[in-house]
Structure 1
Amino acid sequence: MALRVVVCFHISKILGLSLTLILFFAAVASIQTTTSDRISTTDDQNITVNVTDGGTPTQFEWTTPIPSDPTAASSTRELPVSTTEEPVLPSLPLPVSGRFPPRVPGVDRYCPCDALRGVCDINCCCDRECSSEDWSLFSGCSIQTVSGSQQLCSHDVAHYSLKSTVEGHLELQSSIRTHSSSDILCIQSQNRFDGLSHPSPALPTDRNFEWLFQQFTSFMFGSESRDQESHSDSHASTGYQLRDMMQTAGLDGQRGMFVLPAPGLTAHCVDNSPAAFLMNQSSHCSRRLVLDQDCSSLPALSMDTYVNIQLLAGKNKDAAVVPLEVISVVLQSTQSTQTQLNVSGRQTLSPTLTEPTLCANVVLKVVYMIRYSSAGRLVKASVSLVLGFVSEALLPLQQDFQVLYLQEDVGEAVVRYSGNPGYVVGMPLVSGTKTAEGMSRSLNPGDTLSVLRSSEDQDCLQVAPQRSPLLFGMDSVSGCMLRLEEAANCSLVSLLLLDVLRGPNSPQYVASFGNSPLENPLDWIPIKSSFIMEDSPSCSIPVSLHLEIRWTKFGSLLNPQAQIVGITEVIQTNSSSLVQVPGGGSMQPISSSVSFIPVSTSARPGYRAMPTIDAKLPHDFFLPFV
């Protein structure tokens, strides 16, 4: 008489898993302990294993329970048959991750040679679909051992073999043994199947960054408190941050974005392109126009569109309005000459169709300068515009847009150098003036040694020409056109032209190295000039200025440093009368040029002199021979 007891334990929510343990106890009248590793071939085991593409067992349907104890598994007995219906378990909440981690299957669940589902594979001893009739046809086990992860400190190994009985039948012998790892660095336990490898992480983009941030930070300790702190910090910070879209205030009180036209997929302008905070941007795009229709009606051509903008100092609701100041309006003619216009207050110039094929006061270039504080709040905003004439021959219209950011409240003045110690090609020359206390240098980049930057048709005296800093190692040639009336004062014109060629507040000294200190006047080289303004009966005006800069390589051959050894200013005056133009007056081209001349001597190999022996012997050294 046998007694069978089934005891079920239900453990809920342990490491996010629902686990049901079913223990079977069998008691018989004659108690006997067996240690045989043999599984009876009469037991009909039908096990279906569904495997994913990656080889991970995800579902097991058991029609015959497989004991977990290796000694019990090797016993020959009839096992109770359980139904395929699983017990109804109460619904459990999912873990924080939103899904249950996959279970770690035992080593007896793996069968690498089981290639066909529902069919017994030849010589596959671990195949659950094989019966005793199939085993009698086997010649051996193709896979005799199946091991677990060898990275664990102790892992199970399943052994499979075939043995002939006394009656001549083949029986399957299987056992599971635990092997210990001799490696010091091993894994003690594994509770997740995918814990030994990591899937390819999703690359963060502007679309999925928030989702990834919420997914991974939810597992961090104290994430709720940090989320609250970051949420409060975001509300406390009212200034803009990097790449934030700056906001504007409309006339109706609604908020908008500060936009800067930029080319899209093609070269055509896209007017609703937002400008990001602290991201200097420069764009060049074109527009197709019909002059007689778009000259006075298209907003993109009008100065009002780029001037009547009210920026908000911050992101908060009660942010102050930062007015946009117009600091410069330049009118460019059809010959590309530019003239500075005096625009007072909020006065604007609207596009006007002067001729059927010519539109005046069209916006050609817009430059925004935005100053901000260390807290990210806008302090001041200004705009400079270039207006011009557009004809049918110049279509499509080319427009330039630029936005620059400059921090307002800088603690200490930044002194910029052009090398350490030698000059670097492309860096501006370090220049200064000599005073009674020593050398002095202006921190304003506009006060450094500079050259003209204008076209040959630019009027030299009509408007202050634009200038660019003198860059080391880069030759340049530029100029402008001098137009004089008959009643012009020659001496006054000569002085004005000298200021145009040399620049305002022209420095007289140049540093020999890129980091020459002000405390060492010997490292500063004076600019030599032989030009002397003389009073002559004829009109003698300077027509060209040439700077000749001589430099050499100083130091080791492995790492030579560029050093300026001399700079000479050469000014030429007109040797003949000026060219007369129709209608009275005269015209003369004015040029400015810079050249860098290397004066380094070629390296010569040096050899040390042969050593000489300077030894004095005592007077009795050769006694008694001498």
Structure 2
Amino acid sequence: MANVLETFRSGSVYHQVTCVLLWIYLAHSQKVVVFQPSFLTTTGPAVSAFLLGNISDVSLELRTVSPSNTTGTVGPPSCVTEPTRWILTGEQMGKDAVRVQLRLNQSMRICGENDTAGDCCSEKLCVLEALQVSACVGGSPLASLLIQATIHARLFPNNSGHDNKTVIPNQVYQPLGSCPCDLTLRVCDVRCCCDKDCSSEDVKLFASLCLLGPFGGQVSPAPDYQCSQQSAENSPDWFPFLCVHSPPENNPYLGLFYNGDTISPRSGPSFQRPTLSAPVPVNLYVQGSPIMTSSNQYFSIPQRVLGQCVNGAPVAFLKNFKVECVTLLSSCPVGAPFQTRPADLSAQVMNGRGGDVVVVVTDVIDTDLSQVISGSSAGVSAAGRLECENVTLALDYKIFWKGNGITGITLTRTVGTIISNASVVLTTRYSAVFLNGEQMAEANSGNPGYQVGRPVHAGIMDNNSDSIERTTVNLWKPVQDGLCSTAEKRAILFGENSTSGCLLPVRQQDLFQCDLLRETVSNLQAALIIPTYVAKKGNPESSTLTDWLNISTVTLNSSTTVEGTSGACAGIPSHQYIYVWSLITSLVDGSPQREILDLQIGYSLSTWALDCGGGDFTSCEETQLFPITSSVTFIDIPVNVGPPKTRFQINFTEYDCNRNDVCWPELAFPFTKYYTGEPYSQSLAKGMILVFFFITASILGTPWRQIRQVWHSAAL
């Protein structure tokens, strides 16, 4: 059992945990108490061990012990507590274990000249003592733990302020110091022997490990090939015929440190120096940082956070967004964001350059509210007839930027009057776009390859500018009742397969006009795929046509569509599928970069017919819902790793060392060039000696002796 425990102690952390559990089991089964480990050596002010076994009614006692001068061992454990400068605590770790902790109750700093507190170290070797912790029950010791403490004092900086960095002066007016390794002001830097802050006692701690060369403040020694470095006693054979005459200043560190003359600054006449105002603090904006107002508050616009609309969400620099919030109105709203005033929206925003910009508000009145309000099933509102004026329907911000600052902000506020006899569902729109000049700051989906979860970029050719305008390839996004008339669209995300759809109401008479029904469904599906180009990379250039690919479309075979005559229509393009082929083309810092090789759009045809239950056409419902679906599938093209293996390479594994347990080519491994355990000549000589002994043993062995006996008997 002792051998097993010793093996566990020398193993990994897993073995150590197993060892502790095994000790607990043995101690609990045999009703004993043990310390694990029973001896510790510490160089720090804290140490811990475990007391395992039957720990009920066990008390811990601490005392200082000294080894015997004759035997070298400490005395037997004792249950008498002696005052020490250590604090002993025990923490219950279960029913059969206690964690024993000792912490030094003393400061580790060196005592000063006038330090009389006593809570310090008088010498560098602050603690050198042996401690004994005894586990006692009723005054009788059951187990003991011996701890050898050897602790040195800590060196603390003279000043503990925050301004502890060395200020490098302007090298035009003052040369760099002669101790480049002096990195901390008024603090002794370890291994920097030229640091003026290090006392002689400090330098003794690392005198043998000083930084060498000019970085340690020492002149680099001249190389051996310098003629001035050789003498008659130690000169090599080639000296002085091949030595080099060169001045000591011509060394590899020439110009590494500035040691030129200083220039004393001269002040000019006072009338030539204009009076400068106090510097204004500048908070430059970076991408993603929140925009602040002049009152040091977040510049906020209603946004969607975790699926919910939040009225006071901060706006991030260079982060475009466009959200819609749906609210049930049973009475006229009061307060923001539905009732806003231009004075409240004209906020002063920090421009990131020490100044402010004011939001310029423009009002637009919307008279057609059919797209933003809809009836509610809640019935008549509590306040009776709704007639709400100047309700804010949309807030569209345009934020102009340049560099790390904001140059201007414009806001288009759309308002309207809501008149209804019942509660209504109001859909409000909020957006913010960042414009650099007149061009929107469009977010990329990778650099350069696409990142999984980012939108796939598509485009439409702009004939006026010969560039491609960015847009997206969309899928259905059903909302509310799931009908196609109210469904929204969402962009496909790279690497994420998805399927969605909506419902189309179809009447009985529509199934007798199949051509019109097919055209209606085709137009709904075509509205999802408006662009004609797709970007190969995640950061395409609008003016570079090589960054874009043509979107291929599988045309429908119209010859198979037949006009329905019995309330059924065939050849309905009810499902639209999108296939995207991608390939890993390169690696950037170890990350694979994926590019799109092709995007193909096709349709699956189906037959629509009314579901009449028992088959009686006259009993069918007047209107039924039929699904229109769309899906996207991403296909990864594997990287070609080489020509395919032949049948001989696949099946013949007798001499393949990676696929066979017996490797015949390694039989003569010591004689090959791959063996590097010793010089090739020695391995060859030893191998020949082994071969000689093998042949000799074979000749003198039993088979040859029997052959000789048969030969002699035949000769006789």
Normalised by the length of structure 1, the TM-score is 0.42
Choose between structure 1 and 2 for higher RCO, CA contacts under 8 A separated by at least 6 residues: 1
Which of the two has greater helix per residue?
Answer: 2
Normalised by the length of structure 2, the TM-score is 0.37
